[in-house]
Amino acid sequence: MSEEIKEEALVNESGLNFIEQEIQQDLAAGKNGGRLNTRFPPEPNGYLHIGHAKAFIMDFGAAEKFGGTCNLRFDDTNPAKEDNEYVEAIKRDIHWLGYDWEDRLYYASDYFPQLFDLAVRMIKEGKAYVDEQTSEQIAEQKGTPTRPGTDSPFRNRPVEENLDLFMRMNKGEFPDGAMVLRAKIDMASDNMHFRDPIMYRIIHAPHWRTGDTWKVYPMYDFAHGQSDYFEGVTHSICTLEFVPHRPLYEYFVKELADESYCPRQIEFNRLNLTYTVMSKRKLLQLVKEGLVAGWDDPRMPTICGLRRRGYTPSAIKDFVSRIGYTRYEALNHIELLEHSVREDLNKTATRVSAVKNPVKLIITNYPEGETEEVFMDNNPENPAEGQHAMPFSRELWIEREDFMENPPKKFFRLSPDKEVRLKGAYIIKCTGVKKNDAGEIEEIYAEYDPDTLSGRPGADRKVKGTLHWVSVPTAVRAEVRDYDRLFAVENPSAEEGDFRDLLNPDSLKVLDNVMIEPWLAERAKAGDHFQFQRLGYYTVDPDSTPDHLVFNKTIGLKDTWAKIQKK
Ligand code: ATP
Ligand code: MG
């Protein structure tokens, strides 16, 4: 509750969040010549997830709102972990959400020469030195927030020696970890990031863009602000964990900037979702160890996973706008995301009939061999979408769960001597069942009332239950992949122990005997969304072929968000 009040306080009367308000003020004050240029800076070491979407919806969205521009910059400063596969996937995912960087595609590696020159200049000015200690020693000397750090024995080495070593570091004369270049700032600073931060480290791995040119690579803190500066970025929007880095961002930028133009960093709260993890490292582990089917497994919080699952760009944007941008960390309920998806698909998804767990219903008083057409609304939310015909015949598939021989009191589906309406067709009354030797129901028998079809005298007759169905002779068999939450616990990142032990063992159920109506079979193309009547929203999987149709369960019909809100 208190979270909600805080969030509201950060949105002004014009509906601008606190970052947009800052941007508006900077523009009004004529800062940076009245320019707005944001950037989205993914590291190409994994696929984007919905948290990244929150970030780039801000970056591209603010640029759109205020007539500015947004760059896409790959933060490719660590050749050991990065790959072009990720670059292509990231571009695809940003485009899918409707954003475009036009001709503003950049790479931090574009700036390696300028960054190197700046480092050399700082060495010459006595602002940087080469430290030959191990990373453990450096960490040990860092001190704590309450205890100042201690100087490295290499801190006051002569400029010439620093220059010579840095050049040789880059020539490849020393192995990884042998030495680093550090900024000479203040080992007693209150801000731990100011205690002589590392600027460059040695990495002997070919870079996918610059090859073997470099043997030293800049650290994030030494690369990010300067890259913003080189590109003309005015507002560098990132997540709250960078708040303590901001003074360092400003420190390095000052080495370059003047009054006329200076980028600034603004931070907002990360997106964290219940029942999943957002760490790229953990997501990579799930993929590498085959615990999911790939980055685009429909259970993954990745953008490509959500897309395959059937989540839409507008639903994702709606969710992000509902959770908002604040300065307070939060854990967002996945039910709200699901609510946004459900609302969107309710407006757009065509209604069709599919029976997931079929059992045969025989209407004994319906003529054998006869077929008629009944008409189904394509989308009752939008009557303009019209209707489509569905064949009705003597033998139908219905859900096994929709029949009970000995039902409890409030069971309004089919049971002996009880009536139900078959959706879009007749009222029927159950007259009996046939069982196999094991006692399982093989066939259900019923009689229909011919008067109860739409347009006939008994059309308005009410019964308590309505069942969906598919006519047996024309039914097409399909596969359905029924998904549930990836993790069994609400906040896997907060639990002790191995996160893999918290995976939901029932997150995927494959049903390979689903009966669908022929109209659906004819038009189901990868990526299409449908509402299976009474079952939920389903999306055609890219694996689907005309001979073997595959649907992913996107989301059920029941909205669980309202219940969560009341808690
Ligand atoms: P890494 O640990 O590899 O740095 P990362 O998720 O921060 O992982 P980046 O590629 O650096 O990955 O992220 C690009 C941008 O997306 C950054 O500006 C970062 O702040 C933002 N971002 C990352 N995760 C989230 C999240 N969960 N919510 C909102 N923004 C995020
Ligand atoms: Mg990061």
CA of 129 to the centre of ligand 1 (A): 30
**57 Cβ below 6 A of ligand 1:** no
- The pLDDT tens digits for 291-348 are 999 999 999 999 999 999 999 999 999 999 999 999 999 999 999 999 999 999 999 9
In whole angstroms, what separates CA 448 from the centre of its chain? 48
Distances from the Cα of 431 to the Cα of 355, 363, 414, 438, 553, angstroms: 21, 9, 10, 21, 34
pLDDT (0 to 100) of residue 509: 98
pLDDT (0 to 100) of residue 155: 97
Q: Is the pLDDT of residue 18 over 90?
A: yes
In the chain, what's the furthest Cα-to-Cα distance?
102
Helix axes 50-65, 84-96, angle to 10 degrees: 60
- Mode of pairing for the β-strands spanning 371-377 and 350-352: unpaired
Interval 24-51 mean pLDDT: 97
Confidence of residue 2 (pLDDT cuts 50, 70, 90): very low
Closest CA to 471 of 376, 387, 547, 377: 376
Compute the CA torsion angle 359, 363, 369, 370 (nearest 10 deg).
-120
pLDDT (0 to 100) of residue 256: 95
Beta bridge partner(s), residue 396:
361, 471
- Mode of pairing for the β-strands spanning 476-483 and 508-516: antiparallel
**323 Cβ below 6 A of ligand 1:** no
pLDDT (0 to 100) of residue 139: 95
CA of 166 to the centre of ligand 1 (A): 31
- The pLDDT tens digits for 253-262 are 999 998 899 9
Average pLDDT of the chain to the nearest whole number: 96
- The pLDDT tens digits for 407-456 are 999 999 999 999 999 999 999 999 999 999 999 999 999 999 999 999 99
Q: Is the pLDDT of residue 227 over 70?
A: yes
**The pair of three-digit structure tokens given for residue 398, joined into one six-digit string:** 């219905």
Closest CA to 239 of 265, 209, 270, 214: 270
Which ligand minimizes its atom distance to the CA of 284? 1
3 state SS of 218: strand
CA of 136 to the centre of ligand 2 (A): 23
Contact criterion met (CB below 8 Å) for 535 and 512: no
pLDDT (0 to 100) of residue 563: 84
Q: 345: part of which helix (H) or strand (E)? A: helix 334-348
Interval 521-542 mean pLDDT: 98
Contact criterion met (CB below 8 Å) for 77 and 217: yes
Q: How far apart are CA 516 and CA 395, in angstroms?
A: 14
Q: How far apart are CA 403 and CA 432, in angstroms?
A: 11
CA of 465 to the centre of ligand 2 (A): 53
- The pLDDT tens digits for 117-137 are 999 999 999 999 999 999 999
Active site includes 43?
yes
Buried b (16+ CB within 10 A) or exposed e, 48-75: bbbbbbbbbbbbbbbbeebebbbbbbbb
Interval 371-385 mean pLDDT: 96
pLDDT (0 to 100) of residue 3: 47
Q: Is the pLDDT of residue 174 over 80?
A: yes
Catalytic residue among 92, 142, 155, 270: 270
Distances from the Cα of 270 to the Cα of 12, 51, 127, 241, angstroms: 21, 7, 34, 9
pLDDT (0 to 100) of residue 566: 76
Of the given ranges (78-92, 153-167, 339-353, 386-400), which has the lowest mean pLDDT?
Answer: 78-92
Q: Is the pLDDT of residue 564 over 90?
A: no
Confidence of residue 541 (pLDDT cuts 50, 70, 90): very high
For 228, phi then psi, to 5°, come to -55, -45
Q: Which one of 19, 49, 52 would you pick to mutate in the ligand 1 pocket, going by the greatest count of ligand atoms within 8 A of its CB?
A: 52
Active site includes 104?
no
- The pLDDT tens digits for 455-511 are 999 999 999 999 999 999 999 999 999 999 999 999 999 999 999 999 999 999 999
Q: How far apart are CA 260 and CA 258, in angstroms?
A: 6
Query: Percent of the chain, pLDDT > 70?
Result: 98
Q: Is the pLDDT of residue 5 over 70?
A: no
- How many Cβ atoms sit within 10 Å of the Cβ of residue 155? 14
In whole angstroms, what separates CA 85 from the centre of its chain? 18
pLDDT (0 to 100) of residue 494: 93
Q: Which one of 78, 219, 228, 239 would you pick to mutate in the ligand 1 pocket, going by the greatest count of ligand atoms within 8 A of its CB?
A: 239
Catalytic residue among 22, 43, 372, 447: 43
**Atom 15 of ligand 1: nearest residue by CA position:** 42
Q: Is the pLDDT of residue 1 over 60?
A: no
pLDDT (0 to 100) of residue 223: 97
pLDDT (0 to 100) of residue 565: 80
**301 Cβ below 6 A of ligand 1:** no
